[in-house]
A and B are shown apart, each in its own frame.
Chain A
Amino acid sequence: NAGVMQNPRHLVRRRGQEARLRCSPMKGHSHVYWYRQLPEEGLKFMVYLQKENIIDESGMPKERFSAEFPKEGPSILRIQQVVRGDSAAYFCASSPPVRPDEAFFGQGTRLTVV
């Protein structure tokens, strides 16, 4: 049973470009979360999605950031017009329907904006 799969593992973008981060949840998991870990800061919740629905986006920056979890395919976290402050590790987590509060994390995507 594969774990939460994220790609790419490392992503370098120039300021102003777009970054797309992908996440496939564990098999049988229907809840997907995105977290961000900035240098010297803890993990911060960004958004919670189920298939085709954004359930809670209270942690998402108001501009440039968006997330989706389509009916088919992985969840996507999209960052438009990246700035240096977006450099961080972005983790995706998933949880099963029977225990939705138990989140299992993927390996993360380390975004570097140059």
Chain B
Amino acid sequence: QKEVEQNSGPLSVPEGAIASLNCTYSDRGSQSFFWYRQYSGKSPELIMFIYSNGDKEDGRFTAQLNKASQYVSLLIRDSQPSDSATYLCAVNRGAGGTSYGKLTFGQGTILTVHP
């Protein structure tokens, strides 16, 4: 079993729709969770992080965390063609200031938003 699993996609959604990206993780000791966006040939860009169960919203992005189910998701509302990229889920065993940036990444989900 992979430590962090994502559906590789591609996930195709029409412009203006909600894109839902999912991620599961195996290590129950994981405490902090991150979503990165990576355009083809570019570096990963941090877009969201979440530490507590529940939802966290930032603009068009909402991260959802359920530690009991070992599940984290990213919702993108009003999807735009510029959102087309690979979305990487990453987990970290520590929480906030007690850990460091040793991240375990999933394989990424390719998202395509078509006009």
Contact = CB atoms under 8 A, between A and B. Distances in A.
Interface of A: 31, 33, 35, 41-45, 48, 55-56, 91, 93, 95, 98-108
Interface of B: 32, 34, 36, 42-46, 49, 88, 90, 92, 94-97, 99-108
Contacts of B32: 101
B101 A101 contact: yes
Contact of B105 (A43, A101, A108): A43
Contacts of B107: 41-42
Given A99-B96, A101-B94, A33 B43 contact: no
A99 B97 contact: yes
Contacts of A95: 100-101
- Residue from A44, A48, A103, A104 whose CB has the most chain B CB atoms within 10 Å: A103
A42 B88 contact: yes
A42 B106 contact: yes
Main secondary structure of the interface of A (DSSP, over half): strand
Contacts, number: 66
Contacts of B90: 43
Nearest to A95: B101
Given A48-B100, A91-B43, A103-B101, 16 more contacts: A31-B100, A33-B101, A33-B102, A43-B88, A43-B90, A43-B105, A45-B102, A48-B101, A56-B102, A100-B99, A101-B92, A101-B101, A102-B101, A105-B36, A105-B43, A107-B43
A45 B103 contact: yes
Given A42-B88, A42-B105, A42-B108, A101 B99 contact: yes
Contacts of B95: 101
Please list the 7 inter-chain residue pairs (A to B) with the smallest Cβ-Cβ separation, ordered nearest first. Answer: A103-B101, A43-B105, A100-B100, A105-B43, A95-B101, A42-B105, A42-B107
B43 A102 contact: no
B43 A106 contact: yes
Nearest to A92: B43
B23 to A, nearest CB: 12
A105 B100 CA distance: 14
